[in-house]
């Protein structure tokens, strides 16, 4: 794939923090920062139609990605507007969305014959994603870095086996324990797919990449290493450099993954995402200077008041303490019920209170 060369960055604070380099303040972005809590996003959905139609239209995806940046000038990064389930969709499982029920698949991987047929798809099936990345980079014009992303193999496998998200994962776990070789086949094929997928995003212009392991925390202690962490390590090792020959920073985020922070810090990623259940100061002590940390305000706090938001932001920043290596974020995606002015209050509080930790 042809590599994209773009305008130099005007604000590289986010990338510097990921690489644990000095910054003037703690950079911040929000998971799901382009989403249903924004009235302009809801208007875009009316025009574009379904969520998938929005993702597959490069111009709409670009417009939506830029919406939070236009509203909130204190954001330090943009993230590609897409979905982790584009990958299993390209693998032929038939992604669709049911109103009020979330994503589902027409076909699942539960029979051995279906599992054995699974192969790495032609990346041309995901060209709409790479077109969006390139388009967004051009539209950003160096304003802030662009984050590309994928789901982790384990998380994607749960959707492919169960046919939907948010379950107890009993079919996937049954496969893990009764026929581990079949689950490993799914995970290996998916890992190789994700490597190609993220590298194509990098070639198209992504300046950092993030692996979302949304359901890794559902695994037992040993199963997490075998079925999730090992495959994320393969992906990180397989990432290529950008058009300038520079390393593209990577972030790994396992929701509910605080038990494995030390192990996560050893897989070669530049940063670890944290959910809100772990104290970020304790996490910093546990991982030392091996990785940067991203997080970890409880998204529910944004449903409260500006005063409560400022207090909690100050608490997270104080817990991390002085020095670089912290990217402020939520501990999971922003909820659709968040008042947009409360997100602004959080961003203002991060800038106001973080300056003292970078002097």
Query: How many Cα atoms are found within 13 Å in the side-chain-facing hemisphere of 299?
Result: 19
pLDDT of residue 86: 94
Q: Rounded CA gap, 35 and 27, in Å?
A: 20
Q: Rounded CA gap, 228 and 224, in Å?
A: 5
pLDDT of residue 149: 98
Query: What is the residue whose two structure tokens read 């539209």?
Result: 139
Beta bridge partners, 28, equal: 328
> CA 60, 128, 247: angle at the middle one, nearest 5?
105
Those residues whose C-beta lies under 8 Å from the C-beta of residue 79, and which sit 6 or more positions away, are: 29, 31, 33, 34, 65, 146, 147, 149, 210
96 phi and psi angles, rounded to 5 deg: -150, 165
> Which one is catalytic: 16, 20, 32, 351?
32
Residue 159 is among the residues annotated as catalytic for this protein: yes
pLDDT of residue 104: 87
Residue 83 is among the residues annotated as catalytic for this protein: yes
What is the CATH code of the structural domain delimited by 12-357?
3.20.20.210
Asked if residues 108 and 115 have their Cβ atoms less than 8 Å apart, the reply is no
pLDDT of residue 219: 96
> CA 220, 225, 228: angle at the middle one, nearest 5?
90
Residue 107 is among the residues annotated as catalytic for this protein: no
Q: Is 323 helix (H, G, I), strand (E, B) or coil?
A: coil
> Which one is catalytic: 25, 37, 159, 231?
159
Q: Rounded CA gap, 230 and 164, in Å?
A: 24
What angle do the packed helices 180-204 and 127-140 form, to 10 degrees?
40
Residue 357 is among the residues annotated as catalytic for this protein: no
Please state the domain extents for the chain: 12-357
> Which one is catalytic: 45, 279, 286, 357?
45
> Which one is catalytic: 76, 83, 213, 270?
83
pLDDT of residue 6: 61
For 3-18, write each residue's pLDDT tens digit: 555 678 999 999 999 9
Residue 45 is among the residues annotated as catalytic for this protein: yes
- Whole-prediction pTM value? 0.96
pLDDT of residue 5: 53
Spans in the chain with pLDDT lower than 70 = 1-6, 100-101
Query: Residue 154: which of 223, 103, 91, 89 has the closest Cα?
Result: 223
pLDDT of residue 100: 67
Asked if residues 295 and 335 have their Cβ atoms less than 8 Å apart, the reply is no
pLDDT of residue 8: 86
pLDDT of residue 49: 76
């Amino acid at each position: 794939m042809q590599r994209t060369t773009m305008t130099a960055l005007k604000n590289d604070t986010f990338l510097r923090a990921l690489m644990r380099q000095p910054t003037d303040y703690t950079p911040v972005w929000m998971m799901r920062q382009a989403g249903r809590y924004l009235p302009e996003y809801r208007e875009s959905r009316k025009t574009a139609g379904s969520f998938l139609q929005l993702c597959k239209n490069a111009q709409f995806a670009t417009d939506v990605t830029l919406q939070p940046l236009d509203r909130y000038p204190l954001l330090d990064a943009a993230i590609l507007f897409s979905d982790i389930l584009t990958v299993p969709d390209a693998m032929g499982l038939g992604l669709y969305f049911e109103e009020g029920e979330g994503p589902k698949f027409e076909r699942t991987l539960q029979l051995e014959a279906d599992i054995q047929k699974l192969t790495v798809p032609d990346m041309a099936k995901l060209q709409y994603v790479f077109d969006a990345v390139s388009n967004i980079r051009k539209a950003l014009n160096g304003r802030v870095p662009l984050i590309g992303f994928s789901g982790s193999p384990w998380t994607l496998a749960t959707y492919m086996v169960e046919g939907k998200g948010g379950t107890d994962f009993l079919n996937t776990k049954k496969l893990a324990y009764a026929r581990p070789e079949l689950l490993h086949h799914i995970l290996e094929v998916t890992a190789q797919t994700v490597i190609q997928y993220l590298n194509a995003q990098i070639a198209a212009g992504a300046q950092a990449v993030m692996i979302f392991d949304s359901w890794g925390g559902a695994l037992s202690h040993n199963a997490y290493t075998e079925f999730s962490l090992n495959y994320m390590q393969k992906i990180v090792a397989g990432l290529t450099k950008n058009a300038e020959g520079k390393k593209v920073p990577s972030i790994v985020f396992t929701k509910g993954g605080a038990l494995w922070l030390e192990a996560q810090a050893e897989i070669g990623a530049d940063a670890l995402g944290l959910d809100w259940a772990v104290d970020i100061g304790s996490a910093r002590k546990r991982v030392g200077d091996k990785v940067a940390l991203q997080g970890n305000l409880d998204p529910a706090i944004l449903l409260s008041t500006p005063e409560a938001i400022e207090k909690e932001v100050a608490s997270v920043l104080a817990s991390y303490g002085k020095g670089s290596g912290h990217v402020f974020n939520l501990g999971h995606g922003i909820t659709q019920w968040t008042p947009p002015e409360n997100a602004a209050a959080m961003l203002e509080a991060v800038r106001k209170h973080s300056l003292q930790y970078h002097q």
